[in-house]
Amino acid sequence: MIELRRPDASLHREWLDFVSDYDRPGVDGGSVRDDELAGLADPGVFAAWVAQLRDQEAGRNIAPDRVPCTSRWIVREGEIVGVINLRHELNDLLLAWGGHIGYAVRTSARRQGIATRALALMLGEAARLGINPVLVTCDEDNVGSRRTIEGAGGVYDGSVEGKRRNWITLADTPIGYAVRPLSLDPLRGRLVELRVMSNDEVRALHSGERRPDWAAEFPRPDDLDGSPLRDVEALKGREWVSRMIVRRSDHQVVGTIGCFGPPDPADPTSTVEIGYGMVESARGHGLITDALRLLVPAASARGVTLQAHTAYDNRASCRALERAGFTPSGGTDDAGHLRFVHPRG
């Protein structure tokens, strides 16, 4: 029987046996770089590496070039026959060709259905974390892996640098991302990245300075109204204020999204208003929906109730809010805009 086991320093001998039976440089999906492999023969180094893998799963001590990641060893009858990992989010490199899930099966255990079973189990973990759809890639010439991914529902989305990119949409799982409570860290989705503003960006916004990574129509008047006027990096609760919406396909800033101030720490029933907007040329491509699917769960995980208002005839905005889990409350604001509410996290 195939099972996925958390990395365990007591399995040092089994790990080394697995590596000795792997026929490619490094270990695909093994959460280890090629230049680190030799050092893992030392039990102390190995134990420290296992601890690091567990930290990565918990989102602790993440190196700048890494993302939170669930690593598992594929075990059959006590033998490590493969490795598989699930990256909780996608940085630019992973979005281009690395994907959410990477895996490797030892040479002597291939063509036995191990990768198929392990991928199915890890997709279940992705569903539990709220990651949907899931990006899985393989080398263009890896026919076996290609069949495994397609058999799991992978839909081809082009190739980058010899890697076939496939998206797997999980049935009975809402579209979304792994949830981390809102912090100053960027939030990365399939289409956009939400980045907290820096002091330099705030000054540029209000001085009329143009930045090369800003879309031609950015900023809009609403972007200026919603951004801080003073030292944003000194603001308490800075994670709640406006963030840049960065389109990942070209790294252009196309709008802003954020909350109108942090919640009141003295009020356990605090409700926070969320606002957003985007330049006209970027609308109609799912970017706002993607941005809401990132920000709303992260803010909700901080234990607040969220609300938003939008014009009753702005059907695109209403649909985006509903896809992000908001429901109409029946109320309006002074401008007659519809009120939508998202339940407390």
Sign of the CA dihedral with 311 first, then 314, 317, and 322 last:
positive
- For the chain, the domains span 2-120, 187-342
Task: With beta carbons less than 8 A apart as the criterion, state whether 72 and 128 touch.
Answer: no
User: 71: part of which helix (H) or strand (E)?
Assistant: strand 69-76
| 225 Cβ contact partners less than 8 Å away, ≥ 6 residues apart | none
Give, in order, the Cα–Cα distances in Å from 323 to each of 191, 296, 301, 302: 15, 11, 17, 20
Matching CATH topology for 2-120 and 187-342? yes
Please tell me the predicted confidence (pLDDT) of residue 68. Answer: 95
| Spatial CB neighbours of 35, under 8 Å, sequence gap ≥ 6 | none
The residues of the chain scoring below 70 in pLDDT are 25-26, 29, 229-231, 268-269, 345
Q: State the pLDDT at residue 268.
A: 64
- pLDDT for the residue 267: 73
pLDDT the model gives residue 143 = 94
Rounded to whole angstroms, the Cα distance separating 293 from 11 reads: 39
The pLDDT tens digits for 119-153 are: 999 999 999 999 999 999 999 999 999 999 999 99
Phi first, then psi: give them for residue 218, nearest 5 degrees.
Answer: -95, 140
Please tell me the pTM assigned to this model: 0.87
Please, which residues bridge with residue 4 across strands?
Answer: 74
- pLDDT at 235 (0 to 100): 73
**Cα(21)–Cα(104) distance, integer angstroms:** 11
**Bridge-based pairing state of the strands 271-278 and 305-310:** parallel
- Residue 70, CA distances (Å) to 58, 67, 125, 152, 254 in order: 8, 10, 9, 19, 32
Domain boundaries 187-342, corresponding CATH code:
3.40.630.30
Q: What is the pLDDT of residues 90-110, one digit of tens each?
A: 999 999 999 999 999 999 999
Reported as type and span, the H/E element at residue 160 is strand 155-160
CB of 220 closer than 8 Å to CB of 255 = yes
CATH architecture of 2-120: 3-Layer(aba) Sandwich (3.40)
Residues 46 and 119: their CA atoms lie apart, in Å, by 25
Q: How many CB atoms lie within 10 A of CB 263?
A: 20
Amino acid at the residue 219: P
Question: Residue 229 has what pLDDT?
Answer: 64
Q: What number of other Cβ atoms are within 10 A of residue 77's Cβ?
A: 8
Write the secondary structure of 238-276 as one string of H (helix), E (strand) and C (coil).
HHHCCEEEEECCCCEEEEEEEECCCCCCCCCCCEEEEEE
- For the sheet with 192-196, list strands across it: 187-188, 192-196, 243-247, 252-259, 271-278, 305-310, 338-342, 327-332
Q: What pLDDT is recorded for position 335?
A: 80
